[in-house]
């Protein structure tokens, strides 16, 4: 019961915060090719985390500037030289509503990128909300419950295999 109330209240806060995020209709043709900087939110589950690294490799191959949001204990899995910066978070960065803490909110709001990519395949309110705190005109993520509130471009994921899901994600990115 408490989790339900917490989720409803968090939903209210998100709706209030994101109500001004609605963008006018626009063409996404060649939009990603024009983007030079990306903020990538890494998945929280271990298997998805490992398989999603192919998206990072794809962006690096196309000479994009990349910053990453990931759990603090995963920082060492990335070479710092490839990224503008790595924003890490831990358990203390979760509010009582399972949203980013005020300290993390301030840090993310100060960031500006051409595009934000949330690589979480499972519903993750913390990461979806974080994706919209960063200053960006384009947010990309997998289709989830109420994902239209968070993402301009949604990638449908009907695969159980994360490796195939992220390959499909890259194929979708190549279309833009």
Please count the other Cβ atoms lying within 10 Å of the Cβ belonging to residue 79: 8
The rounded distance, in Å, linking the Cα atoms of 7 and 99 is 10
Kindly state the average pLDDT of the residues 25-45.
81
Residue 6 has pLDDT above 70, yes or no: no
Q: In the chain, what is the straight-line distance between the N-terminal and C-terminal CA atoms, in Å?
A: 43
- Per-residue tokens: 37: 């900087």
| pLDDT value at residue 169 | 93
User: What's the rounded mean pLDDT across residues 30-39?
Assistant: 85
Neighbours of 100 (CB within 10 A): 23
H helices within the chain, ranges in order? 2-18, 31-34, 46-61, 102-109, 125-133, 162-175
* CA gap 37, 132 in Å, rounded: 16
Residue 80 pLDDT class (50, 70, 90 cuts):
low
In the predicted model, is pLDDT for residue 170 greater than 60? Answer: yes
Write down the mean pLDDT value for the chain: 83
CB atoms near residue 11 (< 10 Å): 14
Q: What is the pLDDT, as a whole number, of residue 81?
A: 55
Domains of the chain: 33-175 (3.40.50.2000)
Q: What is the largest CA-CA distance in the chain?
A: 47
Residue 25 has φ and ψ, to the nearest 5°, of -60, 140
Residue 19: which pLDDT band, with cuts at 50, 70 and 90? very low
Of 30-34, 38-42, 62-66, 67-71, the range with the highest mean pLDDT is 38-42
Within 8 A by CB and 6+ apart from 102, the residues are: 95
Q: Which of 164, 161, 163, 136 is nearest to 151 (CA)?
A: 136
């Amino acid at each position: 019961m408490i989790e339900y109330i917490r989720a409803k209240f968090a939903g209210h806060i998100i709706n209030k915060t994101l109500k001004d995020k609605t963008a006018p209709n626009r063409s996404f043709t060649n939009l990603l090719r024009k983007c030079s900087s990306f903020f990538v939110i890494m998945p929280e589950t271990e298997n998805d985390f490992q398989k999603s690294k192919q998206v990072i490799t794809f962006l690096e191959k196309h000479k994009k500037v990349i910053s990453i949001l990931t759990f603090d204990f995963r920082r060492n899995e990335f070479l710092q030289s490839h990224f503008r910066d790595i924003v890490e978070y831990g358990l203390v960065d979760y509010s009582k509503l399972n949203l980013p803490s005020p300290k993390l909110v301030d840090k993310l709001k100060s960031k500006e990128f051409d595009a934000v990519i949330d690589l979480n395949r499972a519903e993750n309110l913390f990461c979806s909300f974080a994706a919209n705190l960063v200053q960006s005109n384009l947010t990309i993520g997998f289709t989830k419950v109420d994902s239209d509130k968070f993402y301009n471009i949604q990638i449908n994921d009907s695969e159980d295999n994360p490796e195939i899901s992220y390959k499909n994600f890259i194929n979708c990115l190549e279309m833009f």
